[in-house]
């Protein structure tokens, strides 16, 4: 991060220093590797969010000119993909087999949310780009295995997987740094917001006036947990397509 260019001067006099780094093969020639680039990108995102990641600041922090990055990464899109898999690697996908499948799904979802929110902006990348890296696949495997234990047919398991994954991603996407959440965190602005809601014309927005203060709350954790409970509960209730869970057929 400080001086990238190795001080080759001091060794110019004494000819052979072949001894010191025999490990690494073609490692010594390249002062910068793709791993370095991705690692520094992860550091930037972890510190200041994904918006702070520009090729220029990344290059500067690596002590290099912007164009040099393109020797290791095709473009910023590919950098995003690499970073994405690096982030998903932080999600522990090992779960206790003794737990019920519902609990396993919940644990995994909570872990995924935690990691995503620790890297602001990452969820936005996951929404549009596909998780096909090794770590992404491992996580998908864990989710699928848990859901598969609920004993539904494969096609419905696929739908359930998409549902849980989409929900978690969507939730993490409007992270705690969004305007939405910031506005609700500060008690003063939250009170002003509640006052605004109550001041709305009661004939046009009766339910908003009455219940608005229950919607805009500083309760991200509760919201995620409650939503996940409803969701997994719904999945549990629709394991076998009984008369209650009609309408799941792939018509249309």
Partner DNA sequence: ACGATACAGTGAACGCTGTTCACAGTCAAT
Partner DNA sequence: ATTGACTGTGAACAGCGTTCACTGTATCGT
User: According to CB under 8 A, which residues from 67 to 126 bind its own copies?
Assistant: 124
Contact, 87 vs 114, CB < 8 A? no
**Are 121 and 51 in contact, with CB atoms under 8 Å apart?**
yes
Q: For the chain, give percent helix, strand, coil, nearest 5.
A: 60, 0, 40
Compute the distance between CA of residue 201 and CA of residue 216 in angstroms, rounded to an integer. 18
* Residues of this chain, 71-100, that bind DNA according to CB under 7 A: 71-72, 75-77
Angle between helices 101-118 and 76-88 (to 10 degrees): 130
- Residue 18 C-beta: closest distance to DNA, Å: 9
**Residues in 21-60 at the binding interface with DNA, rule: CB under 7 A:** 26, 28-32, 53-57
Q: Is 16 in the site for its own copies (CB under 8 A)?
A: no
In 10 A of CB 205, how many CB atoms?
A: 12
Please check whether residue 129 is in contact with residue 80, taking contact to mean a CB–CB distance below 8 angstroms. yes
- Options 38, 41, 45, 64; binder of DNA; rule CB under 7 A: 64
Q: CB-side exposure of 117: number of CA atoms within 13 Å?
A: 19
Q: Find which of its own copies, DNA, none residue 29 binds, CB within 5 to 8 Å per kind.
A: DNA
Q: Please, what is the minimum distance in Å from the beta carbon of residue 156 to DNA?
A: 39
To its own copies, the closest distance from the beta carbon of 86 in angstroms equals 19
Part in contact with its own copies (CB under 8 A); list of ranges 13-21, 55-63, 84-92, 157-165: 157-165
| Binding footprint of its own copies, residue count (CB under 8 A) | 69
Asked if 178 interacts with its own copies (CB under 8 A), we say yes
Which residues of this chain interact with DNA, rule CB under 7 A?
5, 8, 26, 28-32, 53-57, 63-68, 70-72, 75-77
């Amino acid at each position: 991060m400080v001086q990238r260019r190795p001080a080759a001067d001091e060794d110019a006099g004494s000819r052979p220093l072949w001894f010191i780094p025999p490990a690494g093969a073609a490692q010594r020639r390249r002062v910068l590797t793709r791993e370095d680039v991705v690692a520094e990108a992860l550091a930037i995102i972890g510190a200041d969010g994904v918006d702070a990641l520009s090729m220029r600041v990344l290059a500067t922090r690596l002590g290099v000119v912007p164009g040099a990055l393109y020797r290791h990464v095709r473009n910023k899109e590919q950098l995003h993909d690499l970073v994405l898999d690096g982030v998903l690697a932080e999600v522990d996908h090992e779960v206790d087999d003794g737990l019920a499948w519902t609990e396993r799904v919940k644990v995994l979802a909570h872990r995924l949310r935690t990691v995503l929110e620790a890297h602001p902006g990452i969820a936005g990348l996951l929404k549009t780009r596909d998780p096909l890296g090794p770590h992404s696949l491992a996580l998908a495997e864990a989710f699928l295995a848990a859901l598969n234990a609920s004993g539904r047919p494969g096609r419905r398991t696929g739908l359930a997987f998409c549902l849980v994954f989409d929900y978690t991603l969507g939730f993490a996407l409007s992270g705690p740094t969004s305007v939405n959440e910031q506005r609700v965190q500060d008690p003063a602005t939250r009170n002003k917001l509640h006052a605004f809601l109550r001041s709305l014309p009661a004939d046009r927005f009766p339910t908003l006036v009455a219940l608005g203060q229950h919607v805009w709350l500083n309760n991200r954790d509760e919201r995620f947990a409650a939503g996940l409970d409803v969701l997994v509960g719904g999945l549990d209730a629709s394991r076998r397509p009984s008369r209650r869970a009609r309408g799941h057929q792939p018509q249309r």
